[in-house]
């Protein structure tokens, strides 16, 4: 265990007296970027998440898997407080962002600030009806950056990071809608990277794309994971196996099993996990 990981596990014990040393569920040896602790969530009367404990490792991909309706997207949306847009929705428990030790589902924390820290990319590419340049630049202006040279430099930087620069550098003023679906999705990823998020949330980011565009997004995720903590919802077991370091299998709002990619796909402990990954249900 490295020093930072040790410090964090000590922190987890110290800040949660109900968790005895060494008995914390789903403990991992990697440095944590976020820690979901006893998280429950309600859409009005309906409880969609039940007491979830889930560590999110820094600079790794964590995949949320499970049958339709099990709560994957609901959990992902808690990380950027998207549920706050609807009154009646309610969280209980914590998602602690580390190392700042901030519970991002605490009502006292401004959801807009949370969204700058946790950027989300959706199933269908959703660029703004603006130019390619403006799609990325608008994320910087939200952060209060006004200097045109700084904005132009950062736009180029993130378009390069999103592996899109070479394809768009000569047409930055064109509408984002003129791009292919795969390019639009990489533009949405660039837009998410612009304000320098701490966490990247991907909700089935390739489900609307063809195999070639999917491969490009997966290549991109493999590069981004060197720099960011990434949480991805995917229905593709092959995709989860290819790109994730950790997997969380969910069922009916509960986290049934969490482990390294290798454990989940080769020797899951729970029969329900085994049945799902082998295609026996879902
Ligand atoms: N806005 C909402 N209001 C009420 N219930 C909702 C809402 N959104 C989702 N649900 C319910 O919460 C549960 C979890 O849904 P969620 O979309 O998180 O599942 P999922 O695992 O992401 O499914 P899928 O793989 O089909 O996207 C489901 O029972 C769903 O019907």
- DSSP state letters, the chain: --HHHHHHHHHHHHH-TTS-TT--TT--SSPEEEEEEEEEEEETTEEEEEEEEEEEETTSEEEEE-STTSSHHHHHHHTTTGGGGSTTEEEEEEEEETTTTEETT-TTS-HHHHHHHEEEE-SS----SSBHHHHHHHHHHHTT---HHHHHHHHHHHHHHTT-HHHHTT-TTSBGGGS-HHHHHHHHHHHHHTT--SEEEEESTTTTS-HHHHHHHHHHHHHHTTTSEEEEE-S-HHHHHHH-SEEEEEETTEEEEEEEHHHHHH--SSHHHHHHHTTS--
Q: Is the ipTM of this complex over 0.95?
A: yes
What was the pLDDT predicted at 24?
A: 64
Please indicate, yes or no, if residue 70 is contained in any of the structural domains: yes
CATH number, domain at 233? 3.40.50.300
22: pLDDT strictly greater than 50: no
Ligand 1 centre from 51 Cα, in Å? 16
Range of the domain at 134: 3-277
Residue nearest to atom 2 of ligand 1 (CA): 43
Which ligand 1 atom is the nearest neighbour of the CA of 77?
18
Please indicate, yes or no, if residue 247 is contained in any of the structural domains: yes
Please indicate, yes or no, if residue 282 is contained in any of the structural domains: no
* C-beta of 69 in contact with ligand 1 (< 6 A): yes
Please indicate, yes or no, if residue 31 is contained in any of the structural domains: yes
Residue nearest to atom 6 of ligand 1 (CA): 43
Ligand 1 centre from 167 Cα, in Å? 36
Taking residues 117-141, report their average pLDDT: 94
Q: Which residue among 41, 65, 71, 77 is best mutated to probe the pocket of ligand 1, counting the most ligand atoms within 8 A of its Cβ?
A: 71
Number of folded domains that form the chain = 1
Average of per-residue pLDDT values in the chain: 89
* C-beta of 43 in contact with ligand 1 (< 6 A): yes
pTM for this prediction: 0.90
Instruction: Give the pLDDT band of residue 195 (cuts 50, 70, 90).
Output: confident
Tens-place pLDDT, residues 57-77: 999 999 999 999 999 999 999
Please indicate, yes or no, if residue 169 is contained in any of the structural domains: yes
Which ligand 1 atom is the nearest neighbour of the CA of 75?
18
Ligand 1 centre from 196 Cα, in Å? 29
């Amino acid at each position: 265990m490295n020093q930072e990981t040790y410090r964090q596990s000590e922190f987890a014990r110290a800040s949660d007296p109900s968790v005895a040393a060494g008995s914390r569920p789903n403990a991992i040896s990697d440095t944590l970027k976020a820690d979901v602790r006893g998280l429950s969530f309600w859409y009005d009367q309906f409880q969609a998440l039940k007491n979830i404990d889930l560590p999110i490792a820094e600079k790794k991909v964590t995949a949320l898997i499970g049958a339709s309706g099990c709560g994957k997207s609901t959990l992902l949306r808690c990380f950027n407080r998207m549920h706050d847009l609807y009154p009646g929705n309610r969280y209980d428990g914590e998602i602690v962002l580390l190392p700042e030790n901030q519970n991002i589902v605490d009502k006292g924390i401004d959801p807009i600030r949370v969204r700058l820290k946790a950027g989300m990319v959706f199933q269908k590419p959703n660029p703004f009806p603006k130019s390619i340049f403006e799609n990325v630049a608008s994320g910087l202006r939200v952060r209060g950056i006004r200097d045109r040279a700084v904005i132009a430099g950062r736009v180029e930087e993130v378009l390069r990071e999103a592996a899109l620069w070479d394809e768009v550098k000569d047409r930055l003023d064109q509408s984002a809608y003129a791009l292919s679906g795969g390019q639009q999705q990489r533009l949405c990823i660039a837009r998410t990277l612009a304000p320098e998020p701490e966490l990247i949330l991907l909700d089935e980011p390739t489900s609307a794309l063809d195999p070639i565009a999917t491969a490009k997004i997966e290549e991109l995720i493999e590069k981004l994971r060197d720099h960011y903590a990434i949480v991805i919802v995917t229905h593709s077991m092959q995709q989860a196996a290819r790109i994730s370091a950790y997997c969380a299998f969910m069922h009916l709002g509960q986290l049934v099993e969490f482990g390294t990619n290798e454990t989940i796909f080769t020797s899951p402990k729970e029969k329900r996990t085994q049945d799902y990954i082998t295609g026996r249900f879902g």
